[in-house]
Amino acid sequence: MTITHLVTHSGGFHADELLSSVVLTRLFPDAELMRTRDRQWITPGADKIIYDVGGAFDAEAQIFDHHQRPGPLRDDEQPYSSFGLIWAHYGRDYLVALGVPETDVEAIHNKFDAKFVLPIDLLDNGAMEPSVAGPLSIMTLPSLLGSLKPVFDDTSPTADDDAFMMALPIARSFVEAQIRNLAAKARAQSIVVASIEKAGTSPILELPMGMPYRSALDKAEADHIMFVVNPRGDDWMLGGIKLSNETFEQRADLPAAWAGLTDANLEEACGVKGAKFCHNARFIAVANSREAIMQMADLAIAELARVAANGQDLSQNDD
């Protein structure tokens, strides 16, 4: 039977049923989204999906609530919210509907679940405190979506429903942006792997364009690569490689003598015609041609070797 209604609770809303609605309205665009606590509507039926209300979880009956006791748990005993339940049941179909290649669906489904869905589940169930984000807790997605609720003295009888429907496309933009990024990273993997193979033992990785590359480097255990080169518009870029996503520290910095210089000053400092810019923090440099940027990359590698040799000499002298 065709799904004609998507049913969640009325009143104030949270991130979990709002994000569940993002998934379900994509899969069932002709279904009416209803916000109600009417017993008739929150009783399972073949033509409706009920979520975050109803006091039961039964995927076959198409009811996905988590407020009952005991509530549904993941295999690792962490609690589900309605978003986690909807994602577990409908997430793969949602990815296919967004155009994710079937070969990437399972991996992206799992990554999105771990990085995006699980934190929503934990926060909604009180299994994680918002304070874990410290002073940035106000910037978490549940807080941002929660800020779209009506103010306390909005007496309009449709205030909650109006706010929910206004928040829905905003929530959709966050979910779909995350999926696009995960899909892009999956597409980049094969390109980066081929580029790593082409680089061989070289410490310089040349890519055909800017793209996510760190996870591919880690998987390939290509620890010998120190810098990445790629075209950027009409220019070429030389970049360092962060040790992880949690730090700005890099495998190697660009030469200290280049820091903060531009144009003629940078050309003079490095001796490369066409050098245009080096960030003061020494994580990126720009030149006007591939030839120029490759010369700068070679100079950066030579400087690393010189610094390493001097450090070894000093250590030996101390002995």
Question: 147: burial class by Cβ within 10 Å (0-12, 13-18, 19+)?
Answer: exposed
Strand order in the sheet with 48-51: 32-35, 5-8, 48-51, 63-64, 57-58
Strand bridging mode 204-206 / 63-64: unpaired
Q: List the pLDDT tens digit at each of the 319 positions of the chain.
A: 699 999 999 999 999 999 999 999 999 999 999 999 999 999 999 999 999 999 999 999 999 999 999 999 999 999 999 999 999 999 999 999 999 999 999 999 999 999 999 999 999 999 988 888 888 888 889 999 999 999 999 999 999 999 999 999 999 999 999 999 999 999 999 999 999 999 999 999 999 999 999 989 999 999 999 999 999 999 999 999 998 878 889 999 999 999 999 999 999 999 999 999 999 999 999 999 999 999 999 999 999 999 888 865 544 455 5
Nearest 5°: the CA angle 68, 28, 113 is: 55
Tell which residue, 7, 57, 63, 60, has the closest CA to residue 31: 7
Ramachandran class of 83: left when φ > 0, alpha when ψ lies in -120 to 50, beta otherwise? alpha
Cα separation, 147 vs 133, in Å, equals 17
Per-residue model confidence (pLDDT) at position 151: 95
pTM for the model stands at 0.83
**Burial 289-317, CB ≥16 within 10 A → b, else e:** eeebbbbbbebbbebbeeeeeeeeeeeee
Torsion, CA 47, CA 49, CA 54, CA 58, rounded to 10: 100
Question: Hey, CA dihedral for 269, 274, 276, 279, is it positive or negative?
Answer: negative
Q: Which residue shows structure tokens 């807080």?
A: 143
pLDDT of residue 161: 97
Res 314: pLDDT: 42
pLDDT of the residue at 313? 52
Residue located via tokens 């255990």: 221
Q: Which pLDDT value is given to residue 1?
A: 67
